[in-house]
Structure 1
Amino acid sequence: MCSSLITKKFKKYVYLIYVVEKLKKWGIIMHEKKKVKCVVWDLDETIWSGVLLEDEKVKLCRSVVKIILELDKRGILHSIASKNNYDMTINKLKELGIYEYFLYPQINWNSKSESLKMISEKLNLSLDSFAFVDDQEYELAEVKHSYPEVLCMLTKDIDSMLMMPEMTPNFITEDSANRRRLYQQDIERKTCEESFNGPQVDFLSSLDMFFSIGLASESDLERAEELTVRTHQLNTTSQTFSYNELKEFMTDPQYRLYITSLEDKFGDYGKIGLSLVKCTKDTWTIKLFLMSCRVMSRGVGTVFLNFIIDEAKKAGVSLFAEFIHNDRNRIMYVTYKFNGFREREINNDKNIVLLEYDMLRETTYPPYVKVEILQ
């Protein structure tokens, strides 16, 4: 497909996003069903039969465990919101061999909505990507009242859960299959950070971070699509692209599709960054720039952006970036501004802000991360 056709397709796609969002806002069309990123489970009469406080010999519901294991393979996270004694419950989960599957379990006497909010904050995931399963209609109603965006399900209705579109990702990549383990590594990092005495830069130096940047290959495209679908907060345009669309950009000489990965002493973060840059004779334009929320505080987003800036300088071109505001991604606008971009023009019809980089500005790289440029 020729470059001009891809460019027209890109512009048309941006305009369609704008129109669709307006139609959703006006209620003319319904919002598409979002993929679930985390399922929060009740315990009594849900994951096990019986009430733990009444009888410690509760029995595990094997059919529910089967669902949990399958969703875990698909990269969907799990947590717990249970009104129970904490120590007794944790010991029972360990005894039954399922403790490791639940991140940030909330076992207390708070409302279930409070527990879901806490899990959401800990995972840094929005509640509209959550599902909640409980055997009590009252608990589901309480959560639904507080957070109508949460998908609520009665325990007796979960037999078809594995076939729901919300629970079925387009691809199961290596990163998604390891997602729980990646989050568990993040928990180790946070625990280490909380106990670290000294400046933040010293803690970051202690992580021995190794950041890789390179042009995407066809083997990266499934993960690249997944990143565009799952990443909303650290995403400059919130656009999603299919495998085939990304492949077209990857093979077109007028575009550069970069992908990044990160590892440190705790393990591999996986592929965590993506950028699409349109390259013409005199100008480069960053059409998409995103980073996984798991690396928000690591400073590698600035490293990635500086790499693109330096590549544009080598090419002797001006550098621009497109930005589309949403209710979550202001931090990326601040990232652009902090790193030397300034507003050039605003297209109110399409809600696009065009920023231009000051090419006289010098780029600086943090000393605590080693960078490898893959050829």
Structure 2
Amino acid sequence: MTAPQEPPAVKCLVWDLDDTLWDGVVLEGDTPPPFPHAERTLKTLDSRGILHAAVSRGDHDMATAHLDACGLGEWFCAARIGWGDKSTAVRRIAETLNIGLDTIAFIDNDPAERAEVAAALPMVRCYPAHLAEHLPDRAEFRPAHVTAEATGRRLLYRTEWRRRQAEEEAGGDRREFLASLGLVMEIAPATEDDLARASELTVRTHQLNSTGLIYSEEELRRLSTAPDHQVRLARLKDRFGDYGIVGLSVTELTSTQSVLRLMLMSCRVASRGAGELMLAHLVRQARAEGRRPVTHFVPTAVNRTMLVTLRFAGYVPVTTAPGDETPMVLEVPADHPLREPGSHVRLLVHDA
């Protein structure tokens, strides 16, 4: 019998505004300052790489103007303010930020609003407003890793919001939009400075994740210098800015095989074709070294997209997974053609 799986850490706290973030109703002409304890929670969680968003009743322009007037607008990556169901707004926040609903938390002073969100989205954790000052002390708001990149995560997501606005302005022509981004992906061996972020990725990334293996900094340090392993990181940037480290691969080398023990890619760049590009590079590298490209895959409730990405890259099943702890094994056939990088992205590979 397996132990119940712990829910993932919170990646985004969604705030109600009136009577939760501040004492008053902006639409009724109030101009309340934020509660001091709420402001402390905003800053503390932001320093840990936890995002903030707003879902509230009222007029969008008035509410966001008041956030800016209070000096809080920059702390929020997205806002859905209006009169519809809050569960629908929370779902749209998750879609906007491209993160799982099970990594969303919601705080609201109104028990009826919390109940509506909890009923429609049972995976979202809901908290009453009076707990705002205590949230930083709770385990789900204390990530195992706080890296330099984590503390700048808010800026990355605010930049992503600008990208999404540009995509809407492109009028639905996805190829034209991707070509306009000027994407550059760099793939290189992990260095000492990268290990904390690489370990954090193994904890935080669930959807585009082949096996769910979690590696500590020490384990990655050992594997990155071992002759029978390769640890590679992918970085991505475009004309709007730097996405930072978005992908990780851990490969075990044998005399005949290049076995991908873990491949993951941040959900933030799933729509950029980053996963396919990194896999194509790994297949190309394995063949250049005279090894067969093999990968392991452990299915979960949320990583089916990763299996689709592997199949698109040419991996076909050799075995199926007979149990929860036995991975499926896939291999790229020798006659499968190598995939070339798409014209919308430039690939830079560093061997050392």
TM-score by length of 2: 0.94
Pick from 338, 341, 345: which aligns with 1:365?
341
* Equivalent residues of 1:275, 1:290 under 8 A apart: yes
1:99 CA drift (Å): 1.4
Spell out structure 1 runs of 4+ moving beyond 4 A: none
Q: How does 1:56-75 map to 2 (within 5 A)?
A: 56-75=30-49
Q: How does 1:90-239 map to 2 (within 5 A)?
A: 90-196=64-170, 199-239=173-213
Q: Secondary structure at the match of 1:59?
A: coil
Q: CA RMSD in A?
A: 1.7
Q: Which runs of 5+ in 1 are unaligned?
A: 1-21, 24-28
Aligned residues, how many?
349
Matched, 1:88 2:62: yes
* Equivalent residues of 2:37, 2:132 under 8 A apart: no
Instruction: Output the amino acid matched with 1:369.
Output: V
Deviates most, 266-275 or 132-141: 132-141
Q: Secondary structure at the match of 1:359?
A: coil
1:250–1:330 CA distance, 2 compared to 1 (3 A): same
TM-score by length of 1: 0.88
Matched, 1:321 2:307: no
C-alpha separation between the residues in 1 aligned to 2:130 and 2:157? 29
Instruction: Output the amino acid matched with 1:306.
Output: A
Q: Which residue of 2 aligns with 1:353?
A: 328
Q: Percent of counterpart pairs with the same letter?
A: 35
Q: Which runs of 5+ in 2 are unaligned?
A: none
For each residue in 1:104-140, what CA deviation from the matched residue of structure 2 results, as whole angstroms up to 9, or x when unmatched? 2111112222221221122121221111111122222
C-alpha separation between the residues in 1 aligned to 2:163 and 2:216? 33
Q: Which residue of 2 aligns with 1:37?
A: 11
Instruction: Output the amino acid matched with 1:218.
Output: E
For each residue in 1:171-197, what CA deviation from the matched residue of structure 2 results, as whole angstroms up to 9, or x when unmatched? 221221111111111111121122125
1:68 CA drift (Å): 0.3
1:323–1:47 CA distance, 2 compared to 1 (3 A): same
Pick from 258, 262, 266: which aligns with 2:240?
266
* Equivalent residues of 1:325, 1:351 under 8 A apart: no
Q: Which residue of 1 aligns with 2:228?
A: 254
Pick from 306, 311, 322: which aligns with 1:332?
306
Instruction: Output the amino acid matched with 1:305.
Output: L
For each residue in 1:133-162, what CA deviation from the matched residue of structure 2 results, as whole angstroms up to 9, or x when unmatched? 111222222222222322221121222221
1:66–1:209 CA distance, 2 compared to 1 (3 A): same
C-alpha separation between the residues in 2 aligned to 1:49 and 1:198? 41
C-alpha separation between the residues in 1 aligned to 2:131 and 2:319? 51
Instruction: Output the amino acid matched with 1:296.
Output: A
Q: Secondary structure at the match of 2:214?
A: coil
Instruction: Output the amino acid matched with 2:342.
Output: P
Deviates most, 328-337 or 189-198: 189-198
Instruction: Output the amino acid matched with 2:139.
Output: P
